[in-house]
Structure 1
């Protein structure tokens, strides 16, 4: 049985990895903002367009083929997230889908009801709920992040919940610092008071096997452009929640799930690419079913990425003038490395890395604005963030660490 990823074989499936910048081979460490796209997804998008696309509900072949692609991709996403295909909806991105879901769900809220959001999350799983609460006169409570441990203070959640709590929104993994949150525990606490739980799995989905029902989530969202596919958002809602949603939609549009959430014409070519990206991931694993192959693939992906991430974190901790922003060793994390360099703006570090070494890393608060503010980084440019993917190599980690060491020494 395969016990590790053949990185060179993986790299062959990503055409973008051949890119150079100023004569140097590009090192892509910007995966947390969006992965590179695998050849299977590129080919699926191109094939759909070149064969002729068609809108839905027609009798002609391109329409029928499009409906088949959507059905097949729902099945694939169902295997990815371990949910029924009919509970999978597509949209432009996670944020747009969550705005639609929050607006619809809030129609059942009353003044005096309460919701809980967190200080660790990307604003895509905060602001849609804040705006919905504002529209309905609902009280917002914030679950604190411990700025020392970079984890949520789950003990404080007990005091935030009440019989008036309608929803808890939480991220499975922080897109800024990588902390993986115990969503199952939060869901248990939320359900005990009759509240729903909405989970942002955008940052988690590229790095680990996600099981919506094992997490006990009522709503879970992710985006294919983070796991080697095109820019397509994905939402999956538990059937009873989904069917009860009074979605803002056009009158003639379907009122049944999942179509009622897919307002307007979808990105059919992109959805074809989503299915192909999931199929590609499955080739890295083993098993009798697509789900089994995906789970074993993510076990290998996580092991590969964590080994590289551990080296990076340790080296950064040993580098003078560098502050690593990460949870403790025993806390599960994605391979997302956030750090700051004393007396240097994050943008300056990123600019030198790309200009001099061809290394692509990013700077900013990455829409985790509350976390950045609480860490005192909101006004100084946020973090520098590097992230790992299955196509990253040990040599690339060495190149990153060598380049950063040179930059830090020059600036000291």
Structure 2
């Protein structure tokens, strides 16, 4: 059956304000069940975690439920789900912990396609520990990041290969599973930035071969909270500075301070909401998430084809190249117009798009565009409609 976008949109009260949202790659609107769950915790008797009394036991249940929800979203062990304020913060946490075991002569591999949150932590920790940084370059003519570029970079001294599951700039989806096989054959760990991909695709971290996989809930209708998942045995081997009285157990020892119980409740609600996006989905929450996200992806990609066709028909629009089959995200420029000016003119018409480098700094440096303002980015999400797409295309034609 076709994806029911009208039903999905009813879950987003903010859409009533009338803005057209192509800004989901920077953060989506929050679904109503998520907001309700957050408010419910804020308005209820929830204390810090303890088994001594009921409000403390509620806090324990909230944390456990959030870990289980992320496990169902990603196909991960709930005991290996670590929460943090952002994907950037969590990646720094993991990088600092793993770097304790690095020695001069070792190397790490990063890509020029990634968001800087999956580049700079590894580069900075490598510099601090005297470890070599090796760069996997994408093809500027196609936007692809072929597996074969990793082969000469990975060897027996490679400690980590950091790679994106989907580019937040142009949507490219590298063959992460193949990269992971190459890395694992050499004894390296694989750290996958799944922030952009998780919002658009069914995810199975085991099938990807990801040793660590990070995602941000606010990119998939949830609150501003992030999670990094790994097998508990990997967390056990990862160093962490912590307070003396705080738990040394995994995953708690990586979560500094008291968690935000209301946001954790929002994470659980967001996963539950995603599981409802296909009317015919049945079975466990994991089963329903997989089916719903498959339906979402099919719908979004059909709409994305409409967007690409529309933009290509506008004279002077330059679309930055990306291979087919990625996530529904496009970066473009309109003639010699400053991308910030394009975004401002579209914003005056109630159309929300971002401009600049969107923290994909290495990508725009390699493309020779960072110094001239980067590009304009538009992304399709499951509440986007064909009318939204047509409105954006018409507005781009006007502002050119």
Please give the range of the TM-score, normalised by the shorter of the 2 chains: over 0.9
- Kindly state the Cα deviation for residue 58 of structure 1 after the two structures are TM-superposed: 4.9
SS across alignment from 1:13? coil
- Say whether residues 1:177 and 2:170 are aligned partners: yes
- Kindly state the Cα deviation for residue 191 of structure 1 after the two structures are TM-superposed: 0.4
Q: Which residue of 1 aligns with 2:388?
A: 396
SS across alignment from 1:334? coil
- Kindly state the Cα deviation for residue 245 of structure 1 after the two structures are TM-superposed: 0.9
Q: Which residue of 2 aligns with 1:46?
A: 39
Query: Structure 1 regions of 5+ residues with no counterpart?
Result: 20-24
Q: Is the CA contact 1:92–1:267 (under 8 Å) kept in the aligned structure 2? A: no
- Say whether residues 1:79 and 2:100 are aligned partners: no
Give me the whole-angstrom Cα distance separating, in 2, the residues matched to 1:56 and 1:70: 9
Q: Which residue of 2 aligns with 1:18?
A: 16
* Cα deviations by residue, 1:85-121 (Å, 9 ceiling, x for unpaired): 1011111111111111100110011111011000000
- Kindly state the Cα deviation for residue 231 of structure 1 after the two structures are TM-superposed: 0.3
Q: Is the CA contact 1:152–1:181 (under 8 Å) kept in the aligned structure 2? A: yes
- Kindly state the Cα deviation for residue 326 of structure 1 after the two structures are TM-superposed: 3.2
Give me the whole-angstrom Cα distance separating, in 2, the residues matched to 1:153 and 1:73: 35
Q: Which moved more, 1:258-267 or 1:117-126?
A: 258-267
Give me the whole-angstrom Cα distance separating, in 2, the residues matched to 1:326 and 1:156: 18
Give me the whole-angstrom Cα distance separating, in 2, the residues matched to 1:326 and 1:79: 34
* Cα deviations by residue, 1:359-386 (Å, 9 ceiling, x for unpaired): 1111010111111011111011111001
Give me the whole-angstrom Cα distance separating, in 2, the residues matched to 1:55 and 1:299: 38
Q: Is the CA contact 2:75–2:204 (under 8 Å) kept in the aligned structure 1? A: yes
Q: Which residue of 1 aligns with 2:363?
A: 371
Give me the whole-angstrom Cα distance separating, in 1, the residues matched to 2:85 and 2:56: 20
Q: Which residue of 2 aligns with 1:255?
A: 248
Q: Which residue of 1 aligns with 2:128?
A: 135
Q: TM-score, normalised by structure 1?
A: 0.95
Give me the whole-angstrom Cα distance separating, in 1, the residues matched to 2:201 and 2:55: 35
Give me the whole-angstrom Cα distance separating, in 1, the residues matched to 2:147 and 2:66: 36
- Say whether residues 1:294 and 2:289 are aligned partners: yes
Q: Equivalences for 1:177-326 in 2 at 5 Å?
A: 177-285=170-278, 286-326=281-321
* Cα deviations by residue, 1:304-328 (Å, 9 ceiling, x for unpaired): 1111111111221222111111323
Q: Is the CA contact 2:141–2:321 (under 8 Å) kept in the aligned structure 1? A: no
Q: Is the CA contact 2:9–2:383 (under 8 Å) kept in the aligned structure 1? A: yes
Give me the whole-angstrom Cα distance separating, in 1, the residues matched to 2:171 and 2:72: 24
Q: Is the CA contact 1:167–1:197 (under 8 Å) kept in the aligned structure 2? A: yes
Give me the whole-angstrom Cα distance separating, in 2, the residues matched to 1:89 and 1:48: 20
- Say whether residues 1:381 and 2:379 are aligned partners: no
- Kindly state the Cα deviation for residue 252 of structure 1 after the two structures are TM-superposed: 1.7
- Kindly state the Cα deviation for residue 398 of structure 1 after the two structures are TM-superposed: 0.8
Give me the whole-angstrom Cα distance separating, in 2, the residues matched to 1:373 and 1:10: 38
- Kindly state the Cα deviation for residue 61 of structure 1 after the two structures are TM-superposed: 1.9
Give me the whole-angstrom Cα distance separating, in 1, the residues matched to 2:135 and 2:364: 15
Q: TM-score, normalised by structure 2?
A: 0.98
Q: Is the CA contact 1:5–1:301 (under 8 Å) kept in the aligned structure 2? A: yes
Q: Is the CA contact 1:89–1:235 (under 8 Å) kept in the aligned structure 2? A: yes
- Say whether residues 1:327 and 2:325 are aligned partners: no
Give me the whole-angstrom Cα distance separating, in 2, the residues matched to 1:326 and 1:5: 28
Q: Is the CA contact 1:143–1:153 (under 8 Å) kept in the aligned structure 2? A: no
Q: Is the CA contact 2:104–2:131 (under 8 Å) kept in the aligned structure 1? A: yes
Q: Which residue of 1 aligns with 2:139?
A: 146
Q: In the alignment, which of 343, 349, 354 is matched to residue 362 of structure 1?
A: 354
- Kindly state the Cα deviation for residue 151 of structure 1 after the two structures are TM-superposed: 1.2
Q: In the alignment, which of 86, 92, 98 is matched to residue 91 of structure 2?
A: 98
SS across alignment from 2:372? coil
